[in-house]
Amino acid sequence: MLLIRDGTPADLDELREVFLRSSLSNQGDRADLLARPEVLDRSEVSMDNGPTRVCVSPGDRIVGFLTSLDDVNQVLEIVDLFVDPDWTRRGIGRALVSDVMATARSHRSRCIEVTANLQALGFYEKMGFVFDRNVDTTFGPAPRLHIDLEPELEQPNL
């Protein structure tokens, strides 16, 4: 059974490890990342950017995390989504995105946005995100996507 919870400062070492392992396992980005090692130095990971949700395995090991920017103008942004390469294709990314979608709905966000790398584009499209435009990033153009959220239905008072 996997658990999703808020990240804490005590999680930083494990988050750095998941980030590094996940980043370097992506063959499409590996050469660019190794050519610019400063982007792999995540001394603070992204906890300063906004809320971080972590997915924890039964052995109490962090196997994935998602960081989002605080909701601005009813738009929440996914900043980071990383899954340990030993745990890919097990629904962890989907569970983390679904978790942030539920949180966004409860805060009455109207949509979620993300800038994806090309390797993650199919994942986000399967989750219901749609392409908006390409944006410039450190490593060149990348797809910018969004998903519109249905507001939570209010329960009638009985």
Residue 156 lies in a domain: no
Number of folded domains in the chain?
1
155 in a structural domain: no
Structure-token pair, residue 80: 């980071």
Residue with tokens 């996914």: 78
Mean pLDDT, rounded, of the chain: 84
Distance of CA 133 to the CA centre of its chain: 19
Helices 27-35 + 12-25 axis angle, to 10: 110
Looking at the domain assignment, is residue 33 inside a domain? yes
Contacts with 42 (C-beta within 8 Å, 6 or more apart), sequence order? 15, 16, 19, 20
Q: Is residue 46 part of a domain?
A: yes
**Phi, psi angles (nearest 5°) of residue 124:** -65, -40
* Structural domain harbouring 103: 3-148
Q: Give the Cα separation of 12 and 19 in Å (integer).
A: 10
Using the Cα atoms of residue 135, residue 151, residue 98 and residue 123 in order, give the sign of their dihedral: negative
Higher pLDDT, 54 or 47: 54
CATH value at residue 12: 3.40.630.30
Indicate if the pLDDT at residue 69 is higher than 60.
yes
Which residue reads 């590996």 in tokens? 30
Query: Is 80 exceeded by the pLDDT of residue 47?
Result: no
Is the pTM above the cut of 0.75? Answer: yes
* 158 inside domain: no
Within 8 A by CB and 6+ apart from 15, the residues are 7, 42, 45, 47, 52, 54, 62, 65
pLDDT at 119: 85
pLDDT in tens, 75-127: 999 998 999 999 999 999 999 999 999 999 988 899 999 999 888 999 999 99
Does residue 12 form part of some domain?
yes
Q: Tell me, what's the pLDDT at 87?
A: 94
Residue 29 lies inside a defined structural domain of this protein: yes
Band of pLDDT at residue 9, cut at 50, 70 and 90: confident
